[in-house]
Amino acid sequence: MRMPAITGVSPRVLEQLIAGGSTHLLVRSSNNLDAVRRLSPGDHVFITSVGKRELKEGVEGVVATVRSIRIVYERVLSGETEGEYSEREFEAARLAVTRFGTGRVLDAKDYGIGKRTEVEVELRPTVSEAY
């Protein structure tokens, strides 16, 4: 199954997704933003704490289904120095996801600096706790 990857996610967020079944991500990395811009609700995405450069065959992660995506813009004004302010703008994405299962990377395609990485994932069987 081929899908975009969101890399470098906090292990705590992954634990939330695994234990709770769903979570929200705030994505700021340009690599991950490129991946998110190509997603739509209902699509699958591979989420891992491994960084983009370390993403290779054998890396494990969570396969999630996208519930919603919202692109947001943030502007930060910082301190005054002799009447001057520093202003920075950020683009970010708020992503709601639900756990679909877990998987292992079979192949990774890196599209370059500031661009997405797509992975071919072998899905692992998920055992339901409901009988």
Give the residue extent of every domain in the chain.
Answer: 2-124
Q: Which residue has the tokens 């704490």?
A: 49
Across the range 98-119, mean pLDDT stands at 94
Query: Given this structure, which CATH class describes domain 2-124?
Result: mainly beta
Distance between CA atoms of 64 and 36, rounded to whole angstroms? 13
Which 3 state secondary structure label does DSSP give 119?
Answer: strand
For residues 88 and 104, which has the higher predicted lDDT (pLDDT)? 104
Q: Where are the beta strands (DSSP E) in 1-131?
A: 2-6, 22-27, 44-47, 60-81, 84-110, 117-124
Which helix (DSSP H) or strand (DSSP E) does residue 38 occupy? none
Distance between CA atoms of 114 and 11, rounded to whole angstroms? 22
Confidence category of residue 130, pLDDT binned at 50, 70, 90: very low
Task: Determine which of 21-25, 42-46, 49-53, 85-89 has the lowest per-residue pLDDT on average.
Answer: 85-89
